[in-house]
Amino acid sequence: MGVESTAHTFGVSVVSTRSGAPTILSDVRDIYRPEKGEGIHPREASRHHTQVAAPVLSKALKDAGVKISDVDAVAFSQGPGLGPCLRVGAVVARSVSAYYGKPLIPVNHAIAHIELAAMLTDASDPLVLLVSGGHTVITAFAARRWRVFGETLDLTVGQMIDQFGRAAGYASPFGREFEALSNKSNVLLDLPYTVKGNDVSFSGLLTASKRLLAERRGLEDVCFSLRETGFAMLAEVVERALAFTEKKEVLIAGGVAANLRLREMLTQICGVHGAKLFAVPREYSGDCGAQIAWNGLQGLEAGVRIDVEKSSVKQSWRLDQVDIAWRR
Amino acid sequence: MKKVEMKLLTRGAEAAVYLGDWFGQEAVFKIREPKQYRHPVLDSKIRRLRTLHEASFIAEARRLGVATPLIYFVDQERGEIVMQFLHGRRLKEIVNGDVGGAEAVEGWCREVGRYVARLHLGRIIHGDLTTSNFIVVGDRLALIDFGLAFYSTRLEDRAVDLHLLDTVAESAHHRSAERVTGAVLEGYREVMGEAEAEKVLRQLKEVERRGRYKKQVD
């Protein structure tokens, strides 16, 4: 069983390999929605999580058709994320673990995104682009760790899109509307394109896009230009990492993976470098319990455990700080 | 100089590099081919700009005491630079293969640090400091690929420039990461001067602290 609570989403899922192939038996989520035009408030989000925790947990067990005693272990998202939110999931997982005597398994939320996406797509040794509200990182596995080849120096791409949306008066997440609005234009406005080596920077792009909005340029044109410029930056650093690592697979994971234009750009790059693109299915691209349950199960089988006393949350836990026991 | 006579050396992310003949001399043809994934207007802007920048920075770096290939010809419209072919090996291979032993490798890494410091003192940020872009030619080190270079004296830009080398050391050469970065910083200090180097290194720590996942989201 896995408990997710890093940011907006409180989720619980049960995953099993008892029938052979990994199977997601249940995946229940309840998402905190901030007011239109506002970002996530950690305290409000954690209050939401506290309120929905019990019903979500019960439903996850019911949907999976299992009793809590059938569960082998409880995994939780230990970080990175918002402290108040992480603590709710950690408390739920610790309680279940202590009361029912189940092993407690710490999971890194970012790695869990990648591992679930890899499991669902059958990617075996991919270069990964993880893009969401909390992450913008290019990583590949080597010698026991996920190694970072490039990342954002400031905002994540999801933050940039959401903050731009809020400036335009839209609720977050803005991803779907952003895609729809962008598709209605083909006017490219001049925006800063900032690639620094293998890293990208989105803050200048966000500021300039907001300025265009303030200058009363069409929202669709600004969305289109923001998309073309921002995603081209991501595509460029992916291509650089791909040329450097010579991987034959590229996996795109995280909420922004749902964007078809980004997928199209990466497909073209993969074509040039003889690699294959794998994209996480849309329903599992966002934060969910299933990523924690699956990665927890991998950890369980590889002997990963944590004592309750040592299980405090890690708000800024980098994925390249985790020694991986389940990959060769 | 006809394409049919040219041999593809590498197709990197940034450009295709061919070996060809330039008026009877072996030469490298670095061509920034159009990127299909990019909007054509954006694509042509980026390719023109980087071609011009690269050629001028290569020349400028040599004046600062950083060995670089000689430029023979630049065609901005086609995104093409024709330059001297360097017979050598990439530092990436030397470090990975421990070629010449640990001491030799550290020596090259110190020279990397000196080169970067000379550029920084000359107001240049290379912008793409990977071990693939340093070439060992005989007993000399050469630096290539100035496509992302720019002028700046900001501590932040210098730190990010060095940070990239750090990232590469961690990712590509994780077995010898500490040795590589240690020697690079040693050479950097030597040329930059202790006080100035210290400022950059402090900023580097700040950059790394600020990086994603080391701080809270939002």
Q: What is the pLDDT of residues A131-162, one digit of tens each?
A: 999 999 999 999 899 999 999 999 999 999 99
Per the model's pLDDT, the better-predicted residue between A66 and B100 turns out to be A66
Which residues of chain B have a CB within 8 Å of the CB of A156?
212, 217
Q: For residue B128, what pLDDT is reported?
A: 86
Which residues does residue B29 pair with via DSSP β-bridges, in sequence order? Answer: B18, B82
Among candidate residues B31, B66, B84, the one where a domain is terminated: B84
Contacts of B176 (CB under 8 A, 6+ apart): B95, B98, B105, B169
Give the C-alpha separation, A205 to A221, whole Å. 14
Q: For residue B213, what pLDDT is reported?
A: 40
CATH entry, A123-282, from 3.30.1490.150, 3.40.50.300, 3.20.20.70, 3.30.420.40: 3.30.420.40
Contacts of A114 (CB under 8 A, 6+ apart): A128, A130, A139, A146, A251, A253, A319
pLDDT at B211 over 70: no
Cα angle for residues A115, A117, A121 (degrees, 5° grid): 120
Range from A79-88, A250-259, B201-210 carrying the lowest mean pLDDT: B201-210
Determine the length of chain B.
218
pLDDT at A233 over 70: yes
Looking at the fold, whether B62 and B26 belong to one and the same domain comes out as yes
Torsion of CA B25, A243, A137, B40, to 10 degrees: 70
Residue owning tokens 């330039």: B22
Looking at the fold, whether B129 and B50 belong to one and the same domain comes out as no
Both tokens of residue A126? Answer: 């991919």
Indicate the residue type of B21: D
Looking at the fold, whether B152 and B124 belong to one and the same domain comes out as yes
Please report, for the domain that includes residue B206, its CATH number: 1.10.510.10
Q: Which 3-state string (H, E, C) describes chain B? A: CCHHHCEEEEECCCCEEEEEEECCEEEEEEECCCCCCCCHHHHHHHHHHHHHHHHHHHHHHHHCCCCCCCEEEEECCCCEEEEECCCCEEHHHHHHCCCCHHHHHHHHHHHHHHHHHHHHHCCEECCCCCCCCEEEECCEEEECCCCCCEECCCHHHHHHHHHHHHHHHHHHCCCCHHHHHHHHHHHHHHHHCHHHHHHHHHHHHHHHHHCCCCCCCC
Q: What is the pLDDT of residues A197-228, one digit of tens each?
A: 789 999 999 999 999 999 999 999 999 999 99
Nearest to A197 among B35, B164, B216 (CB): B164
Give the C-alpha separation, A249 to A251, whole Å. 7
Between helix A42-64 and helix A83-100 the angle, nearest 10°, is 40
Contacts of A146 (CB under 8 A, 6+ apart): A111, A114, A128, A139, A140, A319, A320, A322, A324
Which residues of chain B have a CB within 8 Å of the CB of A151?
211-212
Q: Which A residues, 38 through 57, put their C-beta within 8 Å of a C-beta on chain B?
A: 39-40
Per the model's pLDDT, the better-predicted residue between B6 and A223 turns out to be A223
The answer to whether residue B161 sits within a structural domain is yes
DSSP 8-class letter at A273: H
Determine the length of chain A.
328
Give the C-alpha separation, A206 to A214, whole Å. 12
Which of A196, A201, A231, A268 to mutate: most B Cβ within 10 Å?
A196
SS3 A259: coil
Q: What is the pLDDT of residues A238-278, one digit of tens each?
A: 999 998 899 999 999 999 999 999 999 999 999 999 999 99
Q: What is the pLDDT of residues A96-108, one digit of tens each?
A: 999 999 999 999 9
CATH architecture, domain A2-113+285-321: 2-Layer Sandwich (3.30)
User: How confident is residue B218, by pLDDT bands cut at 50, 70 and 90?
Assistant: very low
Percent of chain A with pLDDT over 90: 92
Give the C-alpha separation, A89 to A8, whole Å. 12
Residue ranges per domain, chain A?
2-113+285-321, 123-282
**How many angstroms separate the CA of residue A151 from the nearest CA in chain B?**
8
Give the C-alpha separation, A47 to A69, whole Å. 28
A88-92, B30-34, B89-93, B151-155, range with greatest mean pLDDT: A88-92
CB pair distance less than 8 Å for B171 and A7: no
pLDDT at A17 over 90: yes
Q: What is the pLDDT of residues B32-76, one digit of tens each?
A: 999 999 999 999 999 998 899 899 999 999 999 999 999 999 998
* DSSP-H helix ranges across A75-218: 83-100, 109-121, 157-167, 175-182, 203-214
The answer to whether residue B215 sits within a structural domain is no
CA dihedral (A155, A158, A160, A162) positive or negative: negative
Q: For residue A172, what pLDDT is reported?
A: 85
pLDDT at A164 over 50: yes
Looking at the fold, whether B104 and B182 belong to one and the same domain comes out as yes
Indicate the residue type of B117: A
pLDDT at A174 over 90: yes
Looking at the fold, whether B63 and B25 belong to one and the same domain comes out as yes
Q: What is the pLDDT of residues B65-82, one digit of tens each?
A: 999 999 999 998 899 999
Among candidate residues B39, B61, B84, the one where a domain is terminated: B84
CB pair distance less than 8 Å for A134 and B217: yes
Q: For residue B216, what pLDDT is reported?
A: 30
pLDDT at B99 over 90: no
Q: What is the pLDDT of residues A276-317, one digit of tens each?
A: 999 999 999 999 999 999 999 999 999 999 999 999 999 999
Q: For residue B212, what pLDDT is reported?
A: 52
User: How confident is residue B168, by pLDDT bands cut at 50, 70 and 90?
Assistant: low
Domain count, chain B: 2
Looking at the fold, whether B193 and B118 belong to one and the same domain comes out as yes
Among candidate residues B66, B84, B102, the one where a domain is terminated: B84
Query: In the annotation, is B157 catalytic?
Result: no
Torsion of CA A211, A212, A218, A220, to 10 degrees: -90
pLDDT at B1 over 60: no
Whether this model's ipTM surpasses 0.95 comes out as: no
Query: Which structural domain, as residue segments, surrounds residue B48?
Result: 3-84
Closest residue of B to A315, CA-based?
A: B216
Per the model's pLDDT, the better-predicted residue between A322 and A172 turns out to be A322
pLDDT at B170 over 70: no
Looking at the fold, whether B124 and B46 belong to one and the same domain comes out as no
Q: For residue B179, what pLDDT is reported?
A: 80
For A183, phi then psi, to 5°, come to -65, -15
Considering B43, B75, B128, B145, which one is annotated as catalytic?
B128
Which residues of chain B have a CB within 8 Å of the CB of A86?
none
Which of B212, B214, B216 to mutate: most A Cβ within 10 Å?
B212
**How many angstroms separate the CA of residue B213 from the nearest CA in chain A?**
5
**How many angstroms separate the CA of residue A56 from the nearest CA in chain B?**
24
Q: What is the pLDDT of residues B112-156, one digit of tens each?
A: 999 999 999 999 999 889 888 999 999 999 999 898 899 999 999
Decide: B139 and B79 in contact? Cβ < 8 Å. no
The answer to whether residue B94 sits within a structural domain is yes
The answer to whether residue B218 sits within a structural domain is no
Indicate the residue type of A258: A
Same fold, A2-113+285-321 and A123-282: yes
Residue owning tokens 């020349």: B59
Residue owning tokens 């700046």: B152
Range from B1-15, B40-54, B78-92 carrying the lowest mean pLDDT: B1-15
Average of per-residue pLDDT across A26-55: 93
Instruction: Label residues B99-109 b or e (16+ Cβ within 10 Å = b).
Output: eeeeeebbebb
Please name which of A57, A1, A39, A10 lies closest in space to residue A286, comparing C-alpha atoms. A10
Which run of H or of E encompasses A16?
A: strand A9-16
